[in-house]
Homo-oligomer: A and B are copies of this chain.
């Protein structure tokens, strides 16, 4: 009697029965992340940028001249990952590199005019995306949620 031999076919296709997995916090974070990511991609196909690319553009816009290492630090990416994303955005003409005048090892990053308009468009998209996301919470809940998520990522 080590396994329920009766249950050979399991056809409850759509039921959200997750069993003990439902009690795992990390599992819910992953599912929620996936749902947000999917909504972002599905809704803004015309934008043709990922969340990550928008984040990078956004940070460079807020901190003109920021170095790649600082960028990666804020978004929790290592140097190699930061490289590939910056490369893509540069190839698209959204940002440019410039040798830092104060530290020859660093690259200063700047938005191009094209990048600035792309960022502006992206911010409008994110706003409607955020509205969709926040619609299921009260302002107090949103504050609490962000505060709790911050405790996780520091």
Contacts and interface: CB of A to CB of B under 8 A. Distances in A.
Given A26-B133, A133-B25, A10 B74 contact: no
25 contacts: A7-B64, A8-B65, A9-B100, A9-B101, A11-B67, A11-B70, A11-B103, A11-B106, A12-B70, A13-B69, A20-B62, A21-B59, A21-B62, A25-B130, A25-B133, A26-B40, A28-B149, A29-B33, A30-B52, A31-B76, A35-B76, A35-B152, A38-B76, A137-B148, A141-B148
A31 B133 contact: no
A19 B64 CA distance: 13
A118 interface: no
Interface residues of A, number: 74
A92 interface: no
Copies of this chain present? 2
Contacts of A31: 75-76, 149, 152-153
Interface string A136-150: 110001101110111
Interface string A30-46: 11111111101000000
Contact of A73 (B13, B37, B126, B141): B13
A18 interface: yes
